């Protein structure tokens, strides 16, 4: 039983024929779990900002610390920027 057997298909790609901005996230996470760090980055570059952002948001729910909101905002902006830029690059290529 592999994680790849349970991945959700992209409905945007099935219905409209082109990838969405989230395409590759599941496969990238699976690659990270298998130790394929470079492949995970090429599949979905924002994976390396999404994981710390998610962990920080969850941690911030239980433990408040100084400047956490600023760090969360910066990570969120960086993540959105990386997602948009990588989506545009995929479309160009």
Q: What is the pLDDT of residues 10-31, one digit of tens each?
A: 777 778 877 788 888 988 999 9
pTM of the model: 0.83
With the C-alpha atoms ordered 92, 35, 82, 16, is the resulting torsion angle positive or negative? positive
What pLDDT shows up at residue 69? Answer: 92
Q: How confident is the model at residue 44 (pLDDT cuts 50, 70, 90)?
A: very high
Q: What is the mean pLDDT of residues 18-45?
A: 90
Q: Write down the domain spans for the chain.
A: 3-92
Give the mean pLDDT of the chain. 89
What six digits make up the tokens of 28?
């990238």
Q: What is the DSSP letter of 4?
A: G
Average pLDDT over residues 70-82: 96
Q: Is the pLDDT of residue 1 over 90?
A: no
pLDDT, average across residues 28-51: 94
């Amino acid at each position: 039983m592999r994680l790849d057997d349970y991945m959700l298909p992209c409905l945007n790609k099935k219905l409209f024929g082109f990838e969405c901005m989230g395409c590759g996230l599941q496969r990238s996470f699976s690659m990270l779990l298998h130790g394929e760090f470079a492949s995970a980055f090429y599949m979905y570059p924002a994976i390396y900002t999404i994981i710390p952002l998610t962990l920080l948001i969850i941690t911030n729910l239980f433990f408040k610390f100084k400047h956490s909101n600023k760090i969360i905002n910066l990570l969120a902006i960086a993540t959105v920027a990386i997602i948009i830029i990588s989506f545009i690059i995929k479309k160009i290529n």
